[in-house]
Structure 1
Amino acid sequence: MRDTTPLPSQATLAPSLVWLFATAAGLSVANVYYAQPLLATLAHEFGMTEAASGMVVTATQIGCALALLLLVPLGDMLNRRRLTLIQLGLLALTLAALGCARSTAALLGGMLLVGLLGTAMTQGLIAYAASAAASHERGRVVGMAQGGVVIGLLLARTLSGVVADVADWRAVYFVSAAMACALLLLLWRKLPPAQAASRQLAYGALLASMLAMLRHNKVLRVRGMLALLMFAVFNIFWSALVLPLTAQGYSHAAIGAFGLVGVVGALGAARAGALADGGRAQWTTGAALLLLLAAWLPLSFAGAALWPLIVGIIALDLAGQAIHVTNQSLIFKQDSDAHSRLVACYMLFYAVGSGAGAIAATSVYALAGWHGVCALGAAVSLLALLFWRLTLPAEKP
């Protein structure tokens, strides 16, 4: 199943194709987050308690983790174009089946598959975009694709809520299945040929090689650790934010709307990638880490006024996206035959950081309130800045 058709050239990708990668990545990741505003409705319809409704999110996240470990690396073994189309077709079928679910088992099984296939599609498309791009534009292209992911993630909850209000929760997944079918046709017509891997690996060897990458690839380890700390900071903020805002009387819709401010961060992602292409990856990283740390000052005043919260969210998201895109730009400068495994390894750091940040945030809030959360977020941000500075010589080629 290995593609033997070479790319015509490593010319600059057409803007329409870059936008297609970004749009497809955004639509793919959105499927993973559609359920979050629907949890109360799902709990009522399927007879689950509020506590048990968390199983819906858990099932989706298990699917995400399995995708990173088992499916995303396949892009380095199989034809990326064919693999993308097959996964998207299966995702469309899963979404349609989920809309028809009548039992808790069917619901949870569908959510697991949505997490599995949605994550595989999203990260696979980013690796695909990186491999299709020429080396001089790879950071910019990855930045655009990552920007699509952020926008898809942020808008998913809003779109889900609107469709569910107009129709019902099942309509969310039927509409998403229809969009997946339309996207499948578009990708089938427009995706470029996939570059063949220079060497063929068996599936077991492919997975085992990820451990070797983590042992021997200093850039991956350093950038992965920065991702772990940065995503921990993100989840310290977003996991705890609902608590003080709810206490101040904000509705769930109003709290969710704060996430839309993060679109500004997505718009800055491509610029960070372009700076990395121009050899300024370390400068961008340092500036973004300083901004990440500085963001906690206005965030600490969130309970007193609205504007410091908005300023802090913009700074936090802009810094985080700049770090994330720069990280990916640097790791994708490595072996082009391993882009899928590199992104899978990298995103595993993200998963660990996200989980640790969420757990730490709620625990600290219970003990020290919002200012304690801000102190924790600032401390982890400072740790990330110090880690980057101490490992800077080790990351130079």
Structure 2
Amino acid sequence: MERGTRLLPAVVCGVAVAGVYAGQPVLGPMGDDLGVPRDSVGWFVAVGQFGYLIGLVLLVPLGDRLDRRRLIAAHLGLVAVGLAVTAAAPTAGVAFGGLAVAGLFAVVVQTTVAYTASLSPPDERGRNIGVVTSGVVAGILGARVVTGALADLWGWRGGYFALAALASMLCVLCLVALPPDVRTGAEPYGQILRSFFGLFTRPLFLGRGLIAFFLFASFGTLWSGLALPLAGEPWHLSETQIGLFGIAGLAGAVGAARAGRWGDAGHAGRVTGIALVLLFGSWLAIGGLGWSLVPLAAGVVVLDFAVQVVHVGNQHALTTAFPERTSTTIGAYMVFYSLGSASGAAATTRTFAAAGWPGSTVLGAGLAFGALAVWCTTAAYHRASSRLRTPRRYRDEPVPHQQSRPGRRARRRLLGPRRSPCPGLRHRGAVDVGPEHGAHRAGDAEIR
């Protein structure tokens, strides 16, 4: 893929996913304007995630049947419609409907990732997925900065109007600039859906999916609940100031781009484990919000970096394992992402209302530990199953009788069995006797 071909999908992903998360820094003003109580404002994010979930099941598998370029353009246009409805909503019900539509068609992100993977050679697939996913990170976190700043200027509706305009422009640009994604044959839609649900019986897929569920539930716990303590005692930050914490989280974009290269080099499994340990540790710093903003900023950097490293590693592993169904596989995997994000968004506001920020911190850390526990369990399972499937002579550990005579066996593998220079002799392993010696028997060699 050329540089421009990678960057445009990254921008598409950023704008589409920003529409789902744009409400996070302005949950308070949105709730006040539309008459939603503070302990329920998390549903402005959760409803978009549930729409996203439906789109993952019904819309993303279409990428394995239709031209993904046209599908990307169509979904972007419908994202723009949903965002415009949200921006103009007179009541909470209309806003929820607009957010559900925007979330439903925001699955253009997964279609775009599958499109990128299908156009990439195997040795560059991880790199290209990482670049596109960095656009997702920039969209999630950059949306907080932009919508926070626009909220101070034009109110919370200004950010949604701006995103609707951007999505409309990208809809046209994708049709003009992206190469077509031509496929020689397409399975019936019903068969594709059956394969979608069949993935949930695969151990590799299920393990990576459960990691994603806990991973993004922890991620959603932070970002859907962070605006509430920062707007209250003792900080009293404005929407713009709250949105600036998204800049700290942009370190995740660096993690996403780098994680793809690690996956191409074959280090995805080990890097995933390290990143999950960092994710759990980041909550120790985030819990210091009550007395300083510095540990919070450090924790945000580490958390977003770890989340994106794991996320890219998961996508790289799954698209490599199921290359013939990239759209279906990515869509099914993101079901776990959507459920986790929605659960975290809904749970953190209620936890904060009941136990304050310490309660939200414990919730986020517990979810991070859940992801780490799943990774340890699946890693042990795959090692054990690999040993059971592999014949003993092909395992990494040498067989005991091989250890006793390594030089002899190594010599035979390289040079073949030793042969006597005399065709009439049979060699027993000690002395070669040729006809020039004129002997019937010498050492362990005897005339046949």
* TM bucket normalised to smaller: 0.7 to 0.9
In terms of Rg, which structure is larger?
A: 2
Q: C-alpha displacement at 1:182, in angstroms?
A: 2.4
**Cα deviation code 1:83-142 (max 9, x no counterpart):** 11222233344545555555665544333222212x221221111111111111111111
Q: What is the match of residue 318 of structure 1?
A: 305
1:273 pairs with one of 257, 260, 281? 260
Say which is worse superposed, 43-52 or 267-276, in terms of deviation: 43-52
| Paired AA for residue 177 in structure 1 | A
Q: What is the match of residue 189 of structure 2?
A: 203
CA distance in 1, matches of 2:322, 2:3: 25
Greater relative contact order (Cα < 8 A, sep 6+): 1
**Cα deviation code 1:16-51 (max 9, x no counterpart):** 211111111101111223344555665666666667
Q: What is the match of residue 237 of structure 2?
A: 251
Superposition pairs of residues 1-397 of structure 1, within 5 angstroms: 13-37=1-25, 56-96=44-84, 106-117=94-105, 119-167=106-154, 171-196=158-183, 198=185, 200-215=186-201, 217-245=202-230, 246-253=232-239, 254-358=241-345, 360-361=347-348, 370-395=357-382
CA distance in 2, matches of 1:302, 1:238: 14
CA distance in 1, matches of 2:14, 2:356: 34
**The residue matched to 1:333 in structure 2 has which SS?**
helix
Cα distance 1:364–1:189, how it changes in 2: closer, same or farther (>3 A)?
A: closer
Say which is worse superposed, 182-191 or 35-44, in terms of deviation: 35-44
> Contact 1:56/1:108 (CA < 8 Å) preserved in 2?
yes
CA distance in 1, matches of 2:225, 2:87: 31
Q: C-alpha displacement at 1:371, in angstroms?
A: 4.3
Cα distance 1:161–1:100, how it changes in 2: closer, same or farther (>3 A)?
A: same
Cα distance 1:182–1:167, how it changes in 2: closer, same or farther (>3 A)?
A: same
Cα distance 1:136–1:292, how it changes in 2: closer, same or farther (>3 A)?
A: same
**The residue matched to 2:298 in structure 1 has which SS?**
helix
CA distance in 2, matches of 1:134, 1:374: 42
In the alignment of these two chains, the number of paired residues is: 382
| Paired AA for residue 214 in structure 1 | F
Cα distance 1:338–1:380, how it changes in 2: closer, same or farther (>3 A)?
A: same
**The residue matched to 1:247 in structure 2 has which SS?**
coil
Cα distance 1:53–1:295, how it changes in 2: closer, same or farther (>3 A)?
A: closer
Cα distance 1:249–1:388, how it changes in 2: closer, same or farther (>3 A)?
A: same
Say which is worse superposed, 386-395 or 37-46, in terms of deviation: 37-46
Say which is worse superposed, 358-367 or 74-83, in terms of deviation: 358-367
> Contact 2:280/2:369 (CA < 8 Å) preserved in 1?
yes
**The residue matched to 2:98 in structure 1 has which SS?**
helix
How much is the aligned-residue C-alpha RMSD, in angstroms? Answer: 3.0
Give the TM-score normalised by structure 1. 0.84
**The residue matched to 1:19 in structure 2 has which SS?**
helix
> Contact 1:84/1:125 (CA < 8 Å) preserved in 2?
yes
| Paired AA for residue 337 in structure 1 | E
Cα distance 1:221–1:44, how it changes in 2: closer, same or farther (>3 A)?
A: closer
Q: What is the match of residue 10 of structure 1?
A: none
CA distance in 2, matches of 1:101, 1:363: 25
Say which is worse superposed, 380-389 or 325-334, in terms of deviation: 380-389
**Cα deviation code 1:306-346 (max 9, x no counterpart):** 32222211111111111111111111113333111111111
> Contact 1:132/1:195 (CA < 8 Å) preserved in 2?
no
CA distance in 1, matches of 2:79, 2:360: 38
CA distance in 2, matches of 1:49, 1:299: 26
Cα distance 1:240–1:115, how it changes in 2: closer, same or farther (>3 A)?
A: closer
| Paired AA for residue 292 in structure 2 | A
Cα distance 1:95–1:384, how it changes in 2: closer, same or farther (>3 A)?
A: closer
Q: C-alpha displacement at 1:166, in angstroms?
A: 3.7
Q: What is the match of residue 392 of structure 2?
A: none
> Contact 1:132/1:192 (CA < 8 Å) preserved in 2?
no
Cα distance 1:35–1:314, how it changes in 2: closer, same or farther (>3 A)?
A: closer
Cα distance 1:305–1:334, how it changes in 2: closer, same or farther (>3 A)?
A: same
Identity of aligned residues (%): 38
CA distance in 2, matches of 1:106, 1:303: 36
> Contact 2:43/2:346 (CA < 8 Å) preserved in 1?
no
CA distance in 2, matches of 1:163, 1:58: 22
Give the TM-score normalised by structure 2. 0.76
